[in-house]
Amino acid sequence: MSIKPKLAKLWIAAALLPGAGMVQADAVSVAVAANFSVPMKKISTEFEKTSGHKVALSFGSTGKFYAQVKAGAPFEVLLAADDETPGKMEQEGLAVKDSRFTYAIGKLALWSAKEAVVDSNGDILKRGDFEHLAVANPRLAPYGAAGVQALQALGVYDAIAPKLVQGENIAQTYQFIATGNALLGFVALSQVIGEDGKAKSGSAWIVPQKYYTPIRQDAVLLDKGRDKTAAVELLKFLKTPYAARIIQSYGYGLPK
């Protein structure tokens, strides 16, 4: 059946009206824990393609993001490196109550950019034959706190403490090691693993879970994103099988 020209014009005009047949494109501002930067870039790219929404990503330490949101920063979604901060933000009214969920379970790695430096059991920590060991600020970065816990659990913290160099966040800590300013240090496994599940370069030891508190990374809808379609849809997308495959490919665990 053909559509008459006049009716066709009216149909096209109606189809172009806001909200006609599709959700209007929206934008979302997301604060992302530095350890999750690479997988989140991939996830957000696919989200933009499939949803039409735009995503603005900012990377940094969870502790700093908390302070910024409290000071009025316009973030609408937080992907934290822990579960405590999102919970605290819900309690303080900075985030939408009961919106948080665990999107990834982080794993800690001891890494050196040089081959054959870090052994498969992490015994280099007991030998202590290095000048500097990099760790993210444990007050701001959960992976930094996990690194300190591991040193304490191994009984070597007091001996190594004078050799510690602190990064502001896990991304800066990685740079300290990659540039040789520190021979080795604690980073997120996701930073040194390729999608094939193997270390990109250098040498690494995946720190056993028994040496640190599980790093449950929670996402939460912040108060400024309460009525933003893109913010709500992005959090839903993080729970899809596509996002789960990306998350696992970078060495993260998933909640049961």
What is the reported pLDDT for 140? 87
Q: By percentage, how much of the chain surpasses pLDDT 90?
A: 84
Is the pTM here over 0.85, yes or no? Answer: no
What is the reported pLDDT for 149? 98
- The answer, yes or no, to whether residue 90 has pLDDT greater than 60, is yes
Confirm or reject CATH 3.40.190.10 for domain 26-105+215-249, answering yes or no.
yes
> Which of 87, 52, 93, 53 has the alpha carbon at shortest distance from 70?
93
What is the reported pLDDT for 203? 95
What is the reported pLDDT for 7? 39
Please give the residue that has the higher pLDDT: either 4 or 10. 4
Superfamily (CATH H level) for 107-211: Periplasmic binding protein-like II (3.40.190.10)
Q: Which of 12-21, 202-211, 225-234 has the lowest mean pLDDT?
A: 12-21
- The answer, yes or no, to whether residue 36 has pLDDT greater than 90, is yes
**Segment 64-87 mean pLDDT:** 97
Locate CATH 3.40.190.10 in the chain.
26-105+215-249, 107-211
- The answer, yes or no, to whether residue 127 has pLDDT greater than 80, is yes
> pLDDT digit string (tens) for 134-148?
999 999 899 999 999
> pLDDT digit string (tens) for 237-252?
999 999 999 999 999 9
- The answer, yes or no, to whether residue 10 has pLDDT greater than 60, is no
- Partnered with residue 105 across adjacent β-strands are 216, 253
Q: Give the whole-angstrom CA distance, residue 80 versus residue 57.
A: 13
Q: Give the whole-angstrom CA distance, residue 236 versus residue 185.
A: 34
What is the reported pLDDT for 6? 45
> pLDDT digit string (tens) for 162-219?
999 999 999 999 999 999 999 999 999 999 986 655 667 899 999 999 999 999 999 9
**Segment 121-144 mean pLDDT:** 95
- pLDDT level of residue 154 (50, 70, 90 thresholds): very high
Q: Which residues contact 217 (CB under 8 A, 6 or more apart)?
A: 33, 36, 79, 80, 81, 82, 83, 102, 103, 104, 105, 106, 142, 252
Pair 118, 111: CB distance under 8 Å: yes
